[in-house]
Structure 1
Amino acid sequence: MTQSTSLLERAPEAALPTSLLPPLEQEGSMSLWEVTRTSFDSLFANKVRSALTMLGVIIGVGSVVALMALGAGASNSITSQIQSIGTNLLFIAPGSFQQGPGAVSSALNLSLNDYDAIVALNLPVNGIAPSFNASASLVAAAADKQATIAGTTPAYAELQSLTLKSGTLFDDAQARNGANVIVLGSTLAKDLFGGGQAVGQTVRVNGQPLRVIGVLNAKGGAGGGSVDMQALAPLKYVLDYFPNTRTADGNRYRLSSIILSVRDATDVDGVQGRLTALLRELHHLPGDGKKDDFTVLSQAAFLSTLNTITGLLTAFLAAVAGISLLVGGIGIMNIMLVSVTERTREIGLRKAVGAREQDILMQFLVEAIVLSLTGGLIGLALGGGLALAVTVAGVLNATVSPTSVLLAVGFAVAVGLFFGIYPAQRASRLNPIDALRYE
């Protein structure tokens, strides 16, 4: 009797669970179904360890799916809000996108004088509106809120597609005289006055009393940047009563932006060129654009820039979350190596009775993939559930796309395959004689 036979006779049955010793086909190889069934049997035999091993993959896949859904929802929300304003808008802002650090010092140079000069050009536009945005404390009987006030003209609301829920907007005369009146965004009005009537009430803005003459309809958007959490006031009032409203030389009033609505979409590029030339002349800048201290941006370019920023931010956050997938993969590899050690005699017995290296390799590789794929599916469900909760809450329309599902499943399988190959190879290359001697 050979040494291997005697070892087989001495092998204790308790050390070799029959559920982990699948029968071989007549050719000596295992079917894919048998390999898969055996892999699940092995994983269910160690439920707690399997669950902890999958945790990294669950967190990684869930985070990536949720962040991709939230990023897509944010991008769609931005796109719909901007497109709802109109397609022919031009935005003039202080500072240049091409200047880098230099744009910080030049960000004070857009002034009311620039606006007057633009009006004098008689451009083919439907309207022009300057604005100066400032943060202020708004105090009413019910609450004290910090919000952004846009000092502007009546044309601003039309250009931004803002409509009234109640009351009225300030008129040209009130804008010229700097009347102490204010129009509140819908959320801001609710925060300040609860469910009560806001129109006709008084709000103290940085200590100054202003009469509420209107409340805007809800526009949507999140955070303090939403129009719903802002207020409109006559430009002259804001420039006269708010700090830091003058340029560095003290001779001109600063502006945060100037918005124009071009009458015909075919004229957008031409108007943009004329505005750029005028501002370079007014600011005594060279014509090559290298020292521009302003930006003239079309709505299409603005939308493209915002979507690029949103996409990059989403990709970055998803990449950070993807680190959990790597950690999960390392965990899978470590547990599979432990499993190989624990099941050394089982592997030796199987090889002794005819199992080939590829059978052992396939079994352990499928176990790693099953671990990773199961974790990925659970993570996909959790990430999709979070996106659904955000959508139901009305924060964003965060929808899990088919691409996200395919990426989640694909990455989960790839992680299992990549981190499972080494333990599987190690198991398949065990010498059956040495494996059966292992205690």
Structure 2
Amino acid sequence: MQVRELIVSSFRSLISNKRRSILTMIGIIIGIASVITILSLGDGARIEMLKNLQADSSGQQSTEITFSPSNDAKISGFNNDDLARIRANAKVSKVTVQSDDHGILSSEGTINGKSITASVYLATTANDSEIITGHGIKATDISMDNPVALVSQSIAKKGYRTNRNALNSGIEINGTMYTIVGIINNNAIKGEFYNYDVVVPRHVFENSNATVNANTLKLTFVSGTNISKATTDIKDQLNKIGSQHASGSYEFFDTAAMLKGITAVIKGITYFIVAVASISLFIAGIGVMNMMYIAVSERTQEIGIRMAVGASQKQILWQFLIEAVMLTLSGGMIGYLAGLGIAMGISAFLPFKASVSLSTFLLAFGTSTVVGLVFGILPAKTASNKNLIDILR
């Protein structure tokens, strides 16, 4: 018999015993559905965790380097030279300094549609120092959380060409829009820190930027960068030639390494549960074997007739083996679809979506095929080893 004829014959044999075939397939369906559900939910949880802790919506990844002074002195660990050196790194797409010690940080923003990176001083009291035009930030602005700002001459000219045009216009800092009420000197300096370009009320800024940390350099990398290695290289560079390398140390907590450990634990738990669920596949395989033995016993005359008309033992073996594989493969594909449906339904009530990948399909396909081959081979051999003379008697 040709392969096509063997497949058609096997299919007809299964169809002729629909009820028995369906009942036998139920075990396979339950086993595969359980495995696919667990894997899809486990992968979904792992991917969501990685996305939330390590990358933003565009796929860019962020890390943080902190500066720890060697004594209690209020020293800011990063200056303009440090930022310029790091921004020259092709792997870095964005650098933001958070320096709570002096109330000054580096922030991204826009003025009249033009992007800027400004050193922002967070004022906690009325501030009218270095004013050239307009007025300073008043005590009422601080107490009432008015979104007002002072900007340097260079920032004002970049956005509005003249100081006068800039007054009472807007500047956006880290997503918050402020009204410019005064222009300050370009050389305004606060404490031991570097020049600042913008002054805003601290409370207004912190209300919209709750994640501000002290003496922290936040780095955002382009997609595909090995962030652990890149951040470690930058940290080592800062510890050698950073502006405050002699007054403290620059440190980096490798979240990527931590995430690898967490994902390894999640994978281990997922695979353990999958192994437990796979027990049902073993039980289902025994059911397939039992069904095939019954089929061999019931079709003894059919086997004899096939042998009498020239069918070889190999053809008889493949006949029954294909039946077993078709049975388990059909159950596997139904179980795969059922597992995906269950996983999607469950994930609708969870804060993450189930992950569907080609690997889960290949797992369902491969497992179903292997179960059919393993538990169908003995009944198939029994059928092929029957003696024609004994059958005819």
TM-score range, shorter chain: 0.5 to 0.7
**Letter of the structure 1 residue corresponding to residue 315 of structure 2:** D
Mapping for residues 107-122 of structure 1, pairs under 5 Å: none
In the other structure, the counterpart of 1:313 is 269
Mapping for residues 282-321 of structure 1, pairs under 5 Å: 297-321=253-277
Q: 1:66 aligns with which of 33, 37, 60?
A: 37
**Letter of the structure 1 residue corresponding to residue 34 of structure 2:** S
* 2: CA distance, partners of 1:391 / 1:310: 17
Q: Which has the larger radius of gyration?
A: 2
* 1: CA distance, partners of 2:325 / 2:42: 29
* 2: CA distance, partners of 1:117 / 1:61: 61
Q: Structure 2: 5+ residue runs without aligned partners?
A: 79-96, 101-123, 125-206, 220-230, 240-251
Residue 296 (structure 2) pairs with residue 346 (structure 1): no
In the other structure, the counterpart of 1:79 is 50
In the other structure, the counterpart of 1:32 is 3
Residue 356 (structure 2) pairs with residue 400 (structure 1): yes
In the other structure, the counterpart of 2:202 is none
Per the TM alignment, residue 84 of structure 1 is displaced from its structure 2 partner at its CA by 5.0
In the other structure, the counterpart of 2:381 is 425
Contact 2:76–2:99 (8 Å) recurs in 1: no
Contact 1:65–1:400 (8 Å) recurs in 2: no
Per the TM alignment, residue 300 of structure 1 is displaced from its structure 2 partner at its CA by 1.5
Q: Structure 1: 5+ residue runs without aligned partners?
A: 1-29, 92-113, 129-171, 173-216, 218-231, 233-257, 273-295
Per the TM alignment, residue 261 of structure 1 is displaced from its structure 2 partner at its CA by 4.1
Contact 2:44–2:353 (8 Å) recurs in 1: yes
Q: 1:382 aligns with which of 326, 338, 344?
A: 338
Per the TM alignment, residue 384 of structure 1 is displaced from its structure 2 partner at its CA by 1.4
Change in 2 beyond 3 A, CA 1:306/1:123 = farther
In the other structure, the counterpart of 1:281 is none
* 2: CA distance, partners of 1:313 / 1:259: 37
In the other structure, the counterpart of 1:101 is none
Q: Deviations over 1:188-229 (max 9, x none)?
A: xxxxxxxxxxxxxxxxxxxxxxxxxxxxx9xxxxxxxxxxxx
In the other structure, the counterpart of 2:328 is 372
Contact 1:123–1:271 (8 Å) recurs in 2: no
* 2: CA distance, partners of 1:331 / 1:357: 24
Q: Deviations over 1:143-177 (max 9, x none)?
A: xxxxxxxxxxxxxxxxxxxxxxxxxxxxx9xxxxx
Residue 299 (structure 2) pairs with residue 333 (structure 1): no
Change in 2 beyond 3 A, CA 1:431/1:316 = same
Per the TM alignment, residue 339 of structure 1 is displaced from its structure 2 partner at its CA by 1.4
Q: Deviations over 1:291-346 (max 9, x none)?
A: xxxxx942222222222222222222222222222222221112111211122222
Q: Deviations over 1:364-405 (max 9, x none)?
A: 011000111000011011011122323444642213211111
In the other structure, the counterpart of 2:149 is none
Mapping for residues 11-30 of structure 1, pairs under 5 Å: 30=1
Contact 1:87–1:299 (8 Å) recurs in 2: no
Q: Alignment partner of 1:87: what SS?
A: strand
Paired-residue identity, %: 40
Mapping for residues 4-403 of structure 1, pairs under 5 Å: 30-84=1-55, 87-89=62-64, 126=98, 261-263=216-218, 265=231, 266-268=233-235, 297-393=253-349, 395-403=351-359
* 2: CA distance, partners of 1:118 / 1:311: 44
* 2: CA distance, partners of 1:260 / 1:323: 54
Q: Alignment partner of 1:418: what SS?
A: helix
Q: Deviations over 1:409-437 (max 9, x none)?
A: 11111111121111111100100121233
Q: Deviations over 1:2-40 (max 9, x none)?
A: xxxxxxxxxxxxxxxxxxxxxxxxxxxx12222112212
Change in 2 beyond 3 A, CA 1:126/1:390 = same
Contact 1:375–1:412 (8 Å) recurs in 2: yes
**Letter of the structure 2 residue corresponding to residue 87 of structure 1:** S
What's the C-alpha RMSD, in Å, of the aligned pairs? 4.1
* 1: CA distance, partners of 2:214 / 2:40: 32
Moved more, 394-403 or 328-337: 394-403
* 1: CA distance, partners of 2:383 / 2:214: 69
